[in-house]
Homo-oligomer: A and B are copies of this chain.
């Protein structure tokens, strides 16, 4: 993408104003304004922009670097100027999970959010802000920050539910029949789950730190909402662990299925060969060139031979069937 885009939302209980800004200088007014401001920055590739914003809002130099390096583990840094939070926002499309790093900087009256690319999961929050009766409008920006975290974590739970449904579909498929493609699929899900786990688990620590953080930037009033975040992320981590076990079970199930199928085929083929072995032996006996083989000279010898062969073959099949080998 080419250009950093900045969206500034200023709101009070009674009014709301959302504007797109072209340059960093235009948003600086929000710091002194009495209104609550949400500055949503999309695009983190321009160090100059980040540095400019960072300096103005007092973001620690290390957190400025964190904003720009997009493979951060979710974490919370508390400094005297504000609260820095970073975590991964996930997208799940066509069996493939991708992540986009979201950084939040929470300071007096201002919440800054930094995203990598256009498109996010924050639309429900934007709609609630538009609604004059919503609680979000009447509260400080710390409530807004929690609302954003909540949509990200709810999205985890949503993705995990789809993930779980797909695993159950695979299981049902597996119980019906086995093929090599399933192994690739299971392996693919394992990989995606590693990815998910890497994004989701650190968020639990983040939320625990958030619960402990006593700071002027997070009002005590919001404790139940942080507890709610905590409930959701614990549920997400539980699901991740559950799906890991399910995937291992699926691997075992696939292995059992494959083995059983192969063994079944080999067994049938072996039984088939075994039935013919004595038949061929008998044919061999009457192919010997002994001078005195009385059966050979009998008028119906050949037909009796055929009859014996058929009887022996059928007897063997019946026997194998009775022992459950076919």
Write the nearest CB–CB distance from A173 to chain B, whole angstroms: 13
Complex interface bits, A181-209 against B, C-beta within 8 A gives 1, otherwise 0: 00110010011001000100000000000
Q: Which of A1-9, A112-120, A278-286 sits within the interface?
A: A278-286
In the complex, the answer to whether A184 meets B175 with C-beta atoms within 8 Å is yes
Copies per complex? 5
Complex interface bits, A282-326 against B, C-beta within 8 A gives 1, otherwise 0: 011111111111111101111001100100000000000000010
Partner of A228, one of B62, B246, B270, B296: B62
Partner of A265, one of B175, B294, B325: B325
CB-CB under 8 A for A292 and B288, given A198-B242, A225-B62, A251-B252: no
Write the nearest CB–CB distance from A326 to chain B, whole angstroms: 10
User: Does any Cβ of B come within 8 Å of A60's Cβ?
Assistant: yes
Q: Which of A20-28, A49-57, A255-263 sits within the interface?
A: A255-263
Write the nearest CB–CB distance from A73 to chain B, whole angstroms: 5
In the complex, the answer to whether A183 meets B305 with C-beta atoms within 8 Å is no
In the complex, the answer to whether B260 meets A258 with C-beta atoms within 8 Å is yes
User: Does any Cβ of B come within 8 Å of A122's Cβ?
Assistant: no
Residues in B neighbouring A30, C-beta threshold 8 A: none
In the complex, the answer to whether A290 meets B301 with C-beta atoms within 8 Å is yes
Question: Quick one: closest B residue to A276, CB to CB?
Answer: B277
| Residues in A lying within 8 Å of B, measured CB to CB | 60, 62, 72-73, 75, 77, 79, 171, 175, 180, 183-184, 187, 190-191, 194, 198, 224-225, 227-228, 231, 234-235, 238, 242, 245-246, 249, 251-253, 255-256, 258-260, 262-263, 265-267, 269-274, 276-281, 283-297, 299-302, 305-306, 309, 325
